[in-house]
Structure 1
Amino acid sequence: PMMQKAGGGAIINFGSVSWMMGQGGMPGYTTAKAATHGLTRGMARDLGKDHIRVNTLVPGWVMTQRQLDLWVDEAAEREIDQRQCLKNKVLPDDIARMALFLISDEARMVTAQNFIVDGGWV
């Protein structure tokens, strides 16, 4: 209701590339993240008339300090090098920049979309 009263706004849902990659071991997580895409499209349809944009930001493997400390070892570094098109690591700032774009007026006609920020993981 607040966004409607304000004349519009932007909602960013957060997905994950895990479900697109068929990642195992976390069926609840991957199912919930896959459902986010349907939620985004349905919300965009319902809220568009109120000038509310709804998109999903889909991060790849973001190199937070926790990721680096717990899971990024030599094998992980090799996998990143082999599978990611852009050879830099995806950092929290990369995700933040996309989020800032999506809530900005520059994205005024962008809704019901999924934006993958993963360095081109193939």
Structure 2
Amino acid sequence: MKRIIICLFTCLSIALIFNSCKKDEESFDESLLIGKWQSGTVWEKYSADHKGGTWDTSDGVYEDDAQAFTWSLEKSDLTQIHIMEIGGNVPKYYTVTELTSTTLKYKDDFGISRTFSKR
């Protein structure tokens, strides 16, 4: 009986130790996101009114014809809701890994990362 109690106590202790090692989710200042960002030929623009747009100059698309979206940033979760011209919305979800006054890095649920520089 004593061995069972010791074994249970050991298992409980190990579970508590690993639970306390969980990394806290980072939180980013959304005011740093405001502005134009460039990653190669891809551009994203974030406005203070939580509206924005994205365009790819390699496709011959420029800011005036950008794909419009609304955005939100909560902790490290960046959500873009793309507003389709034919109607409907397409949500896109990203995890921000770095956000400074000059650099934006995020990844999607497939692990694809993108790095932007502020322009």
Q: Going by fraction, where is strand more abundant, 1 or 2?
A: 2
Q: Going by fraction, where is helix more abundant, 1 or 2?
A: 1
- Alignment TM-score, normalising by the size of structure 1: 0.23
Larger radius of gyration: 2
Larger RCO, structure (CA 8 Å, separation 6 or more):
1
- Alignment TM-score, normalising by the size of structure 2: 0.23
